[in-house]
Structure 1
Amino acid sequence: MRLMHPAANLPAACSVEVAVDFDSSIQSLGALEAAAYRLIGTATCQVDRAGDRYVCRLVSSNSQKGAVLGSNDLKERFLNLVADENLRARVAERTEGVRNVVLALAFGALAVNKNDAG
């Protein structure tokens, strides 16, 4: 029986760990969880509550997708994602009334069309 040679020599696993903390009275847990979700494939994120702080432990390790992000790059990417999620939440809150009117008009028109057809 012939032995097969390895297809590639895999580098030793290396990882980068970063902790980022937020004041829980200012930062929502939902935005942190959404940002953590968007890091899937790049890093893992564990969010813990420590008193009045949320502590996010980020770990980036080498994967099939490419190189490990450095600690500063990982922190910057996470902070950008958190800022984006905060903005999304703010826009959703401010436009809720308009969205509800648009949905009411759209579904109201569907109800009227259904009644006309029957």
Structure 2
Amino acid sequence: MADAPRDSELVQTAQAKVDLSVFSLDCVKRAAYRVTGNAAVEITLCDGFAVCIVSFSKAVTRASADAAIERLRLEVLDQDLRATIATETASVRNAVLALAFSRSGLQSDD
């Protein structure tokens, strides 16, 4: 009898390494929070990488674990892009908010 395919193997954890010279630790933390639906994510730092251990609440197939790691990696990229856009648009956002509050009547003219 042949061994079961690797994708159907049940696992309790999966791991991803994120290069901190490319992505910030804040982005990794935000991404980890976003993918914690059925798992917990532990982040440790090692040699310039954020090592993310994803612990599933119950055993999942290797294919499901790989999919969860892929979601984590995509979410890290998404969080990084959100941070970049926020930085690039901060001055415009602040100007819009300042204009909105200047006309709101919330500030006194003193």
TM bracket (short chain): 0.7 to 0.9
Q: Which runs of 5+ in 2 are unaligned?
A: 1-9
Structure 1 partner of 2:23: 27
Structure 2 partner of 1:51: 47
Q: Which runs of 5+ in 1 are unaligned?
A: 1-13
For 1:112 and 1:74, the matched residues in 2 are separated by 46
| Aligned equivalent of 2:69, options 41, 54, 75 | 75
Instruction: Output the TM-score relative to the length of structure 2.
Output: 0.76
Which residue type is aligned with residue 47 of structure 2? G
For 2:19 and 2:34, the matched residues in 1 are separated by 21
Structure 2 partner of 1:5: none
Which residue type is aligned with residue 91 of structure 1? I
Residues 1-42 of structure 1, C-alpha deviations (whole Å, 9 max, x = no match)? xxxxxxxxxxxxx75311111222211011111111112222
Pairwise CA RMSD: 2.2
Distance 1:90 1:113, change over 3 A: closer
Higher strand share: 2
**Highest Rg: 1 or 2?**
1
The count of aligned residue pairs is 98
Higher relative contact order (CA 8 A, sep 6+): 2
Residues 56-111 of structure 1, C-alpha deviations (whole Å, 9 max, x = no match)? 1111233xxxx846221111111111111111111111110110000000111124
8 A Cα contact 1:48 1:55, kept in partner: yes
Instruction: Output the TM-score relative to the length of structure 1.
Output: 0.72
Structure 2 partner of 1:98: 92
